[in-house]
């Protein structure tokens, strides 16, 4: 999987479903998002690197135009974990084919959430 994931933020996001996915009651399946797949790929890379005793390859998620929706709504689960220094455990409430995954924020918080736009020419 590509270590860079660009996620276009929608102005109607009011919760984490746009990032982490949701259960579709019609198909009874969990709908994954590119963001979730990127997080799971990064978690797998971290586990593999630990087993191979090497430094994990970095993964990057770019939230394009992240200010279109209120960050404190759709990103609140992650902001809470980052502020507390805790762990984020993804365990969906409905059936899903993937494993429960624990993720720990990087100890180096230098890459921070933000948005940038190209200047008009």
20, part of any domain? yes
Q: How many CB atoms lie within 10 A of CB 18?
A: 20
115, part of any domain? no
Model-wide pTM > 0.75: no
110, part of any domain? no
26, part of any domain? yes
Q: If DSSP codes are grouped into helix, strand and coil, which group holds residue 14?
A: coil
Give the chain's domain count. 1
Cβ pair 65, 8 in contact under 8 A: yes
| pLDDT, tens only, 47-105 | 999 999 999 999 999 999 988 998 888 888 777 777 777 666 655 555 545 544 444 44
Query: Which pLDDT does position 6 carry in this prediction?
Result: 93
121, part of any domain? no
22, part of any domain? yes
111, part of any domain? no
108, part of any domain? no
- Domain holding 57, by residue range, is 4-103
């Amino acid at each position: 999987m590509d270590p860079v994931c660009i996620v276009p933020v929608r102005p109607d996001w009011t919760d984490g479903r746009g990032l982490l996915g949701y259960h579709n009651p019609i198909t009874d399946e969990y709908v994954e998002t590119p963001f979730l797949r990127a997080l799971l790929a990064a978690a797998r890379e971290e586990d593999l690197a630990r087993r191979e005793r090497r430094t994990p390859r970095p993964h990057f998620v770019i939230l394009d135009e992240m200010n279109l929706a209120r960050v404190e709504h759709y990103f609140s689960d992650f902001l809470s974990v980052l502020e507390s220094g805790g762990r984020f455990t993804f365990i969906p409430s409905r059936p899903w084919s993937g494993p429960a995954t624990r993720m720990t924020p990087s100890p180096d918080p230098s890459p921070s959430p933000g948005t940038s736009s190209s200047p008009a020419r």
